[in-house]
Structure 1
Amino acid sequence: MRWAGPDGFEADDDAGRIDAAVVHGFLRTSYWAKGVPREVVERAIAGSLNLGGYDATGAMVAYARMVTDRATFAWLADVFVLESHRGHGLGRFVVSTLLAHPDLKGLRQILLATADAHELYRSYGFTETPPGLMMAIRTPSAELYAQP
């Protein structure tokens, strides 16, 4: 499904159109997935509801994905806009389009993790979880992405 965005940009949920090289290139230097191997990125794309943001030439310049069962729960992850295309409202366009996706209607809960965009996500209705509610098994990324 495709959606028209600002300044001639569009969003598309066709996983076959996602440019894994662009996603990997961004994520491997991000604070949340530093050093992630390309094969891990490709598996994440394959197992998620993806939304790519594309410029007028069809080049992928933004991305977001939902890890979801499409029935009760989703996790918003890996939201980014390439630095060269920031300032056009693409981040908001991609996030709002993904949150309104028909496959996500009626979910009981959508979660995300962020170190620096709390105010942005509050504008969509996200709130911080009560202390003690969320738990996690965490693996340090150095070990997680280490190649044997």
Structure 2
Amino acid sequence: MQIEIDDSPARIQRDVVWAWLSSAAYWGRWRDRATVEAQLDAAWRLVGAYRSDTGAQIGFARAASDGASFAYLADVFVLDEHQGTGVGRGILRRMIDEGPGRDFRWSLFTRDAHSLYAEFGFAAPDETAMVRPAGPARR
């Protein structure tokens, strides 16, 4: 089966993205559909993976950025039946190495797929990194 990797926001199948993020994403099932839609609308880049024969979306990644030097990678997924076939690498290659942010400082939060992300230069934070965890508004 042939796979197409595309960074056209218009091609993203929002129902597929919503279905996966709302049911399978350990990191973001708390989001409602309106929040996911707003994140898609505001994204700096969206990359999708599609079956060439049917056009069905099988993978996805989203990035937020200042457009100059920093990008945050989020919501990366490949449908279970297509994992281990190189689709994730293709999505990351298009998003990071082949996109306008190839020389940016990238960040992401994940508890899995560390070896895959390492192939694209991600490593444990250094002494300059600090993180404020998500949570209720602080006053």
Q: Is 2:121 the counterpart of 1:128?
A: no
Q: SS in structure 2 opposite 1:50?
A: strand
2:62, 2:73 within 8 Å by CA — same for their partners in 1? yes
The answer for the alignment partner of 1:53 in structure 2 is 49
Counterpart Cα distance in 2 of 1:133 and 1:121: 18
The answer for the alignment partner of 2:61 in structure 1 is 64
2:7, 2:94 within 8 Å by CA — same for their partners in 1? no
Counterpart Cα distance in 2 of 1:106 and 1:92: 18
Which stretches in structure 2 are left out of the alignment for 5+ residues? none
CA positional deviation for 1:18: 0.7
1:65, 1:79 within 8 Å by CA — same for their partners in 2? yes
Task: Report which stretch shifted further, 113-122 or 96-105.
Answer: 96-105
Which stretches in structure 1 are left out of the alignment for 5+ residues? 1-6, 144-148
Deviations 1:32-71 (A, max 9, x none): 0013211111111111100010002111110011111221
CA positional deviation for 1:114: 0.7
The answer for the alignment partner of 2:30 in structure 1 is 35
Structure 1's consecutive aligned runs of 4 or more residues displaced over 4 angstroms after TM superposition are: none
TM-score (norm 1): 0.82
Aligned residue among 101, 108, 111 for 1:115: 111
The answer for the alignment partner of 1:3 in structure 2 is none
Q: Is 2:100 the counterpart of 1:79?
A: no
The answer for the alignment partner of 1:16 in structure 2 is 10
State the AA in 2 paired with 1:38.
R
Alignment: residue pair count: 134
Q: SS in structure 2 opposite 1:130?
A: coil
Counterpart Cα distance in 1 of 2:38 and 2:19: 15
CA positional deviation for 1:126: 0.8
State the AA in 1 paired with 2:35.
V
Q: SS in structure 2 opposite 1:135?
A: coil
The answer for the alignment partner of 1:4 in structure 2 is none
**Structure 1 vs Structure 2 CA RMSD:** 1.9
State the AA in 1 paired with 2:131.
M
* % identical aligned pairs: 35
The answer for the alignment partner of 2:39 in structure 1 is 44
The answer for the alignment partner of 1:93 in structure 2 is 90
CA positional deviation for 1:86: 2.2
CA positional deviation for 1:135: 2.0
